[in-house]
Amino acid sequence: MTLRQLQYFARIVELGNITRAAEQLHVAQPALGLQIRQLEEELGVKLLTRHSRGVSPSRAGRLLYERACEVLRLLEETGREVTALGRHEREGIVLGLTNGFANIVGRDLVLQARRDLPDVELSLVEERTVVLIEALERHEIDIALAYEVHERPGLLRVPLLEEETLFVAAPGLAPRSRAHKGRRATARPGGPRAKRTAVSTDSAPHPLAASIEFADLAGHPLVMPGPRDGVRQQVLATAKRLAIGLDVILDVSSVSMMKNMVARGDATAVMPYGNVFDEIASGRIVGRRIANPPLKRTLYLVRAMRRAPFAEESGVLRLLAEVSRRYVEVLGPLATSLPALNDPARLASLAATQ
């Protein structure tokens, strides 16, 4: 049994597909399959079960995967410690954040890391959740704060907070109920602004207009992000469940272009508050909470199961918890902290042993 075989086997289990594993490992698929067959012959057990969707580990395979993660974590940790001792360098950590989270508290995170973690060299990657998770699986980033991360082999996830997404429109575009579906009026730049009604909460730190029923989204032309985007999937799944037809006029995988179209009155959208934080504050875009049902999503702390602990693990987790709590404060009524976020010891325990 070799380290290479363990690395190959772990990646196959994590991806559930030998072809995808071969592509990520830059190994020919027949050669990868041969390594796994040799491993099975040496151990005298079947490690993988093949099916129409790919492969999954057998009972013996699950045990081998768990032990392989322990071995590979120890190998990575040993290399990191020896390198740091020899070079006296700061520990490099690559953190993945989504656009909205980075927009609101990314600066605070960087400045606080420089102040409180002098032995850490923190690098940030800002991307959509689906891209962050793929980067985690390829070990291109070390840890991520990402939304709606489904359970999958090789990843540990800890839920931190729950937040609502908003219906956003140009200031002059008044909300229409289903009774007005036949009368679409696009806001003209410089046109009269709709009267705003503040959300009835003293804790709201930002201006939100009166809420809108989910069913009333059908009366508005919507611009949506690409098919792999989590917000888009949630909106369309909710509409399908409620048998509501939505008018999606365009798919745009650019946050800045979506915001520009909304601000100019070309379309409306459903977006996280963090993505339109500055535009709502300046009055270029109006945000409305969505009701019946509200659209909520969960932010997770995510890392690879076989990633070795950082030397500054507790400090990094404490920092991420602090900025996440700050994020909840900024979102006000739109966000709710989950238990792990308010208990640093529990967060560290979950992140290390889940």
pLDDT tens digit string along 319-341? 999 999 999 999 999 999 999 89
Q: State the pLDDT at residue 175.
A: 58
Query: b vs e for 230-242, b when ≥16 Cβ sit within 10 Å of the residue's Cβ?
Result: bbbebbeebbeee
For the ranges 71-80, 203-212, 299-308, which has the lowest average pLDDT? 203-212
Q: State the pLDDT at residue 311.
A: 80
CATH number of 3-72: 1.10.10.10
Q: State the pLDDT at residue 89.
A: 65
20-49: per-residue pLDDT in tens? 888 888 888 888 888 888 888 888 889 998
C-alpha 92/C-alpha 89 separation (Å) is 9
Strand partners, 222: 248, 268
β-strands 155-169, 296-304 pairing: antiparallel
CB-based contacts of 310, cutoff 8 Å, min separation 6: 91, 93, 120, 142, 316
Domain covering 77-162+297-353, topology: D-Maltodextrin-Binding Protein; domain 2 (3.40.190)
Q: State the pLDDT at residue 100.
A: 93
**Mean pLDDT on 185-209:** 40
Residue with the two structure tokens 């640093």: 344
**Is the model's pLDDT at 196 over the cut of 50?**
no
CATH number of 163-296: 3.40.190.10
Asked whether 326 and 145 are in contact (CB, 8 A), the reply is no
Asked whether 149 and 133 are in contact (CB, 8 A), the reply is yes
Q: State the pLDDT at residue 35.
A: 86
C-alpha 142/C-alpha 307 separation (Å) is 7
C-alpha 63/C-alpha 67 separation (Å) is 6
C-alpha 327/C-alpha 145 separation (Å) is 12
What are the residue ranges of CATH 3.40.190.10 in the chain? 77-162+297-353, 163-296
**Is the model's pLDDT at 7 over the cut of 50?**
yes
Backbone phi and psi for residue 237, each to the nearest 5 degrees, phi listed first: -65, -40
Q: Which amino acid is at 260?
A: N
Q: Which tokens is 195 given?
A: 């009267």
Q: State the pLDDT at residue 155.
A: 85
C-alpha 207/C-alpha 270 separation (Å) is 17
State the DSSP H helix or E strand holding residue 223, giving kind and residue range, or none if neither.
Answer: strand 221-224
The CA-based angle 273-276-279, given to 5 degrees, is 135
Mean pLDDT over each residue of the chain, to the nearest integer: 84
Q: State the pLDDT at residue 183.
A: 38
Q: Which amino acid is at 81?
A: E
What are the residue ranges of CATH 1.10.10.10 in the chain? 3-72
Q: Which tokens is 46 given?
A: 């079947």
Q: Which amino acid is at 198?
A: A
Q: Which of 268, 333, 256 is nearest to 294 (CA)?
A: 333
219 against 181, higher pLDDT:
219
Q: State the pLDDT at residue 352.
A: 58
68-107: per-residue pLDDT in tens? 888 887 887 777 767 666 555 677 899 999 999 999 999 9
215-265: per-residue pLDDT in tens? 999 989 999 998 889 999 999 999 999 999 999 999 988 899 999 999 999
Q: At what angle do helices 3-15 and 59-87 cross, to 10 degrees?
A: 120
**Is the model's pLDDT at 202 over the cut of 50?**
no
Q: Which tokens is 318 given?
A: 């404490």
The CA distances from residue 257 to 68, 126, 151, 250, in Å, are 44, 17, 32, 11
Backbone phi and psi for residue 278, each to the nearest 5 degrees, phi listed first: -70, -40
State the chain's maximal CA–CA distance in angstroms. Answer: 76
Q: Band of the pLDDT at 119, cuts 50, 70, 90?
A: confident
Q: State the pLDDT at residue 351.
A: 60
CB-based contacts of 185, cutoff 8 Å, min separation 6: 173, 174
Asked whether 6 and 68 are in contact (CB, 8 A), the reply is yes
Any idea how long the chain is?
354
